[in-house]
Structure 1
Amino acid sequence: MTEPVSPEKQRWDAYLWEPGGCLRNKLGIKNPVELHFAEYRLRSLRQGEIDRGDVEIPRTYDKAHVQAIHKHLLQDVYDWAGEFRNVGITKQGKTFVPAELLDKWTGKVSAKINDKDWSTMSRDEFVQSIAEVYSYQNLTHPFREGNGAAGKVFMSHVAEMSPYRLDFDRVERDEWNAASSAAYPEDLEKSTDPDPRKMYAVFDKITVERGSVVRADPELAMALQLQSSTYAGVDADGPDENAGLGERPETYAVAQEADQDTERDD
C-alpha cells in the first residue's frame, strides 16, 4: 500500500518537473546542469540592467525590495520569480527559517537596516553592520532558489547608503561559505540569532571606499568573455549558482525526509 504524500512534500514536488528532478522553468529545460548554465546567463544579463540603473528597484529595504530584485533577476527562468517559498529548505544539514515565518524575519532584516545611520558610519561600523544584516538575511533565505544572487544585489543596495561599496570578488567562495556556516546558529530551535561576528573578516575584505580604484579581475573578465559566446559560471569545482555569495542549493527540509535529499552544486 502506497503511503500518502504529505502536503509539504506535495508543495516541494510542485516546484519540479518530476519528484527528485529538475526545477520547473519557463525554458522547458529538464536537465539541472543545462538549467544552471541558462539561468546564470539570463540572470547575469538582468543583473547588468539593475547595476546600470536601466530598471528601477525602489530602495525600500523590505520584503517588496527583496522580491523586486529576485523577480527581475529570474523573470526569464521561473514563473515564481519574486515569490517567497512555501516550503522548508535546508543546506548542508542546516535548516533555514520556516516558510510561515518569512514575513516576520524579513521584517527583522528591514528593522536592522532602518535602525542605523549608514551615511555617517566609520569603516569598522559599516563592516559590523552590513555583516549583521547579511547574517539575518541569509538565515531567512526567502526564495526557493536564487537567494545568493538576490542577496548580493540587496546588500549592495544597503551599501549605497554608506561611504562604502562591496566588491564580492575580493573573497574566495570557500572562505565565504565557511564564514556563513560559522555564523549560523548552532541550534536554530534554541537560538534564532546568527553570529554576525563570524562574517566580519570576509566583509572587511570586500568593503571598499567609494571612489577607490576598482582593481582588475582577470577571472571576471574571462567570465564576461565566455558569457558573450556560451553559458558561463562554472569553475573547476563545478557550477556556482550564486556568483559571489558561494551558495549551495536548497534541499527539502521536512524533518523525516531531509537527510535523504541529495544536494547538487548550485
Structure 2
Amino acid sequence: MKQWEDYLQPNGTLRNLLGITDDEELHQLEYDYTVDRSQKLILAKYKLPDGRQLTGQQVGELKLINGYLLGKVYDWAGHYREVDFNKTANGVVTFFHPVALFGNAEMDIQRQLDNFAMLPNDREQLAQALGQVVTEINMFHPFR
C-alpha cells in the first residue's frame, strides 16, 4: 500500500515529471499549466485531444479531466489517489473519502449525475442539485 511519502521527493516537494524540487516553483507551474489547459479545453468545447467528448454526465470523466490537466506534471495524474487524505485549514480538519470506499462514492456521484440530468428546467432545483453534486465530488477528493 502506498504512503504519502511515495508521492514526495526527499525534500518534501511533490514528485513530478519535470524534476522540479522547489515547492513554490512547482505550485506556480502547476497553476499556470492547469489554467492554460483549462482554457484549451474550453476552446475545444470540452473535446480531449484524443477525440473523447466530455459531457459532465459520467463520474469517470473526473479521471480524464485530471489526466488532461496535470498529465505532463505528475505521473499519477488521471489516477485516483491510493492513500487516505485530510486537510487542515484554520484549525479545522476535513477528512476526505477513504480510498477503500471510492467505489461507493463513484456510484453515489453517478446516481446524482443521472438524477440531475432528469430534473425539470427549474433554476432553483437545478442549483440545489448541482450544489449537492459539487459538494459530493469535493468530499470524494479522489486525486492528490
Question: Do they fold alike, i.e. is TM over 0.5?
Answer: yes
Regions of 4+ moved over 6 Å: none
Answer yes or no: is the 8 Å Cα contact 1:63–1:103 preserved in 2: no
Cα pair distance change 1:47/1:64, threshold 3 Å:
same
- 1:127 lines up with 2:127 in the alignment: yes
Match of 2:32 in 1: 41
- Corresponding pairs, count: 135
**Percent of aligned pairs with the same amino acid:** 29
Question: 2:3 is paired with a residue of what secondary structure?
Answer: helix
Q: Which runs of 5+ in 2 are unaligned?
A: none
- 1:75 lines up with 2:66 in the alignment: no
Answer yes or no: is the 8 Å Cα contact 2:79–2:143 preserved in 1: yes
Answer yes or no: is the 8 Å Cα contact 2:119–2:125 preserved in 1: no
Answer yes or no: is the 8 Å Cα contact 1:57–1:69 preserved in 2: no
Match of 1:14 in 2: 6
Give me the whole-angstrom Cα distance separating, in 1, the residues matched to 2:53 and 2:28. 25
Question: 1:94 is paired with a residue of what secondary structure?
Answer: strand
Give me the whole-angstrom Cα distance separating, in 1, the residues matched to 2:60 and 2:99. 17
Deviation at 1:49, TM superposition (A): 1.7
Give matches, 1:1-266, under 5 Å. Answer: 11-18=3-10, 21-53=12-44, 55=48, 56-59=52-55, 61-92=57-88, 93-117=93-117, 120-144=120-144
Give me the whole-angstrom Cα distance separating, in 1, the residues matched to 2:101 and 2:94. 16
- Supply the AA of the counterpart residue of 1:42: Y
Question: 1:26 is paired with a residue of what secondary structure?
Answer: coil
Give me the whole-angstrom Cα distance separating, in 1, the residues matched to 2:29 and 2:23. 10
Cα pair distance change 1:57/1:12, threshold 3 Å:
farther
Give me the whole-angstrom Cα distance separating, in 2, the residues matched to 1:127 and 1:59. 18
Cα pair distance change 1:117/1:39, threshold 3 Å:
closer
Q: Which runs of 5+ in 1 are unaligned?
A: 1-6, 145-266
Question: 1:116 is paired with a residue of what secondary structure?
Answer: helix
Give me the whole-angstrom Cα distance separating, in 2, the residues matched to 1:118 and 1:51. 25
Cα pair distance change 1:129/1:60, threshold 3 Å:
closer
Give me the whole-angstrom Cα distance separating, in 2, the residues matched to 1:14 and 1:108. 29
Question: 1:61 is paired with a residue of what secondary structure?
Answer: coil
Give me the whole-angstrom Cα distance separating, in 2, the residues matched to 1:117 and 1:73. 25
Give me the whole-angstrom Cα distance separating, in 1, the residues matched to 2:107 and 2:121. 23
Answer yes or no: is the 8 Å Cα contact 2:80–2:143 preserved in 1: yes
Deviation at 1:119, TM superposition (A): 6.6
Answer yes or no: is the 8 Å Cα contact 1:17–1:24 preserved in 2: yes
